[in-house]
């Protein structure tokens, strides 16, 4: 199982779950805003992460934001507070957002997974399959003009693309009515500060696109 590429496993997992009569990606169909969606999923028990979470981390920001950031999964601080990107990587993300003249309240921030994987391990394909529909619904409600994915898992999941983040970052892709651009995750930058210059290049592209929209 672990020898296969992540996206192939996610695809096969979804196919298997559908064959078993379990709805996944399009499981959230009700009309309404983010508060309605948050209320609906707050007690989600679709995967084993429900047993270990302190809080479900739904997302935060402007429901009508033009720019949306999508990360991988909550960490320890996020699990304790129930808010995305509030730890050290979150502080860096705030600085990154500020660098293009915006505030956190101007954008929307969410993750692929809504619950913390124990020990901050990588997301499992099954967990991504179970949670991806929630993110898809968030995107459909917010209707962002630009989506910036943070790190490998967010980029590969939304783009259905197996290329490494080093090859995906800094490029705009079509994602429905939005432009999607991957960049490095802030947590990666904490250990690789020399890569911040590449993220700054990506953010300048985002700022130019934002101003055009």
**Other beta carbons within 10 Å of 40:** 14
Mean pLDDT over each residue of the chain, to the nearest integer: 90
Mean pLDDT value across residues 119-130 = 96
The pTM score is 0.86
Contacts for 14 with CB less than 8 Å, ≥ 6 apart:
24, 25, 129
CATH number of 6-212: 3.40.470.10
How high is the pLDDT of residue 12? 63
Torsion of CA 148, 30, 41, 76, to 10 degrees: 10
Token pair in block for residue 213? 């929209």
Residue 24 scores a pLDDT above 60: no
Q: Which two tokens stand for residue 26?
A: 């399009």
What's residue 169's pLDDT?
98
Residue 178 phi/psi, 5° resolution? -105, 165
pLDDT of residue 10: 60
E strand residue ranges, 85-213: 108-111, 146-150, 173-175, 178-183
Quote the pLDDT of residue 20.
57
In this predicted structure, the answer to whether residue 108 has a pLDDT above a threshold of 90 is yes
CA atoms within 13 A on the CB side of 56: 18
Q: How confident is the model at residue 29 (pLDDT cuts 50, 70, 90)?
A: very low
User: pLDDT of 40-96, one tens digit each?
Assistant: 999 999 999 999 999 999 999 999 999 999 999 999 999 999 999 999 999 999 999
| Predicted local confidence at residue 28, as pLDDT | 40
pLDDT for position 32: 76
Helix (H), strand (E) at residue 68: strand 67-71
């Amino acid at each position: 199982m672990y020898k296969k590429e992540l996206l192939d496993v996610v695809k096969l997992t979804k196919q298997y779950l559908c064959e078993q009569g379990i709805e996944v990606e399009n499981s959230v169909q009700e009309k309404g805003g983010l508060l309605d969606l948050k209320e609906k999923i707050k007690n989600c028990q679709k995967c084993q992460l429900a047993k270990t979470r302190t809080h479900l981390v739904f997302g935060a920001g402007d429901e009508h934001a033009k720019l949306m950031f999508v990360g991988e999964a909550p960490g320890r601080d996020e699990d304790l507070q129930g808010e995305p990107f509030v730890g050290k990587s979150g502080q860096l993300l705030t600085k990154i957002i500020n660098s293009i003249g915006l505030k956190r309240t101007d954008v929307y921030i969410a993750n692929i997974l809504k619950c913390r994987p124990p020990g901050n391990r990588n997301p499992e394909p099954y967990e991504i399959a179970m949670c991806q529909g929630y993110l898809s619904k968030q995107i459909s409600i917010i209707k962002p003009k630009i989506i910036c994915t943070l790190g490998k898992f967010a980029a590969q999941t939304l783009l259905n693309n197996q290329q490494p983040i080093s090859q995906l970052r800094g490029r705009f892709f079509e994602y429905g009515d939005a432009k999607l651009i991957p960049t490095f995750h802030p947590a990666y930058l904490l250990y690789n500060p020399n890569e911040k210059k590449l993220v700054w290049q990506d953010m300048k592209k985002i700022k130019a696109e934002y101003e055009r929209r």
